[in-house]
Amino acid sequence: MMLNYIYTTFLTILYTLVMSLSLSLYLKERKRNYLLISLYFLLLILNGLIVTMSETFQIFANDYNRQFMVNPIIETIYYLATFGIALKLVTDLFEEKVKAYQYGLYIGFSLWLIAVPFMSNSALKVWLYYLPSQLLTVYLGIYLLSHYRQVKQSSFLGKYTRLIGIMAIIFGLSIVVEDTFIIYFRDIYHTNMLKIHNRNVSEDLFHISLCIIAIKYFLSNYQTENEEVPLADKANLISAVHDSTDVYEEEQYYFDRFMDKYGITQREGEILQLLLQRKHNQEIANQLYLSLGTVKTHTHNIFIKLQVERRSEVCEVWEAYEKSELSQ
């Protein structure tokens, strides 16, 4: 009992730490993804509390487990919410919208979680209820692996996107194996005194791994912000840039300001730099390891943001901006 208490307390503290760091960044930068991460770990905390209560208080465990076999509304809300958040975070990472087939997956997942509880009580019923959630974790891992090259590889996210994808596949399959063993060889679902093992160690290990990566990301974010030059010193920074002999750094500085002015994303910025080098779509696709369709989509978005219709006009807008900045 004591070990179980220590283990649960450790998970709660870890999830709370990640949630707090993410929420603080959201309040500071107002980026939606930070809020989604906070909500995701809040759901993990609440689910962990329910699991702990089911392991600690027998009366609660009996009532909760009977309710689970008839109408697992709490579990259903938890799985639908966590998958929805994870799907949105993954698609936002690659600056993509949720596709029609992904909405179909979500709807199918919902219907599955609603339909399975109507089966007669058995180990198979419980196993089938949990199965799609783990398979969707594997799907998200495959999605990350198939798209990770779209994230700048020198960035923090670029370094860890592939790792998270591999982890999602490995742990997703591990959870299926563990569930199979627990459900068919440990728990009894057909008696009046139900004793359902609600904790999955593989799932906990997956979330712990995500926490470690998230904490490293948040701390690196704070460190970068602390190293930034205060707003009052920006005039001095501009002067220093003008005096610098490093032309590349000077141009990169103005290019970053240009991106901020027109709301150009990181990926669009990479493509814009190549457009300014007069490269064709196929050359850009080959250099950035993107599909031709993805390059065309980003190029179209750049045209809209710069309010131009031709590639030559993109260069004109940049040259006019650079000239105005240098003249100040």
Predicted confidence (pLDDT) per residue in 55-73, tens digit: 778 788 788 878 888 889 9
Residue located via tokens 């190293």: 227
252 and 216 fall within a common domain:
no
219 and 260 fall within a common domain:
no
Give Cα 223 distance to the centre of its chain. 21
Q: Which residues contact 221 (CB under 8 A, 6 or more apart)?
A: 25
185 and 142 fall within a common domain:
yes
Q: Per the structure block, which two tokens stand in for 104?
A: 């179909």
77 and 206 fall within a common domain:
yes
307 and 192 fall within a common domain:
no
9 and 137 fall within a common domain:
yes
Give the structural domain span for 49: 2-227
* The total number of residues written for the chain in this structure: 328
159 and 71 fall within a common domain:
yes
Confidence band of 193 (pLDDT split at 50, 70, 90): very low
Q: How many domains does the chain have?
A: 2
Predicted confidence (pLDDT) per residue in 198-212, tens digit: 678 899 999 999 999
CATH (domain of 272): 1.10.10.10
Q: Helices 292-306 and 311-326: crossing angle, nearest 10°?
A: 50
40 and 189 fall within a common domain:
yes
DSSP of 256-268: HHHHHHHT--HHH
Say which amino acid occupies 16. T
Point out the domain boundary residue: 227, 258, 291: 227
Task: Give the integer Cα–Cα distance in Å for 31 and 93.
Answer: 12
pTM greater than the 0.85 cutoff: no
131 and 80 fall within a common domain:
yes
Phi/psi of residue 322, nearest 5 degrees: -60, -40
- In sign, the C-alpha dihedral spanning 177, 179, 180, 185 is positive
SS3 at position 89: helix
223 and 314 fall within a common domain:
no
